[in-house]
Amino acid sequence: MTTLEAKQYLNNEMNLRVKLVEDVKFRELCVKMCKELGISASEWNKNKVDICLFIANQFIGLDAEGGTLRAYLTK
């Protein structure tokens, strides 16, 4: 993989995560997950972007190359 291909790959991967975080239903799911995990409202408010990106990274990481989540996000 060339440097340009690697940069493009990383850019595509980040765009998938950002697109997922921009989805309102996904953010609602993040809030629900945080409540269930006992994360306080204060902690959520201070770190919601990081928390959402972390969860998005976990979801996309679990979705195999060409999986349904990736297909949905690349429409």
AA letter at 59 = F
Mean pLDDT, rounded, for 5-25:
93
Predicted TM-score (pTM) of the model is 0.83
Q: What share of the chain is helix, strand, coil (3-state, %, to 5)?
A: 85, 0, 15
Task: Answer whether 59's CB lies under 8 Å from 23's CB.
Answer: no
Residue 4: per-residue pLDDT: 87
Residue 67: per-residue pLDDT: 83
pLDDT at 66 exceeding the cut of 80: no
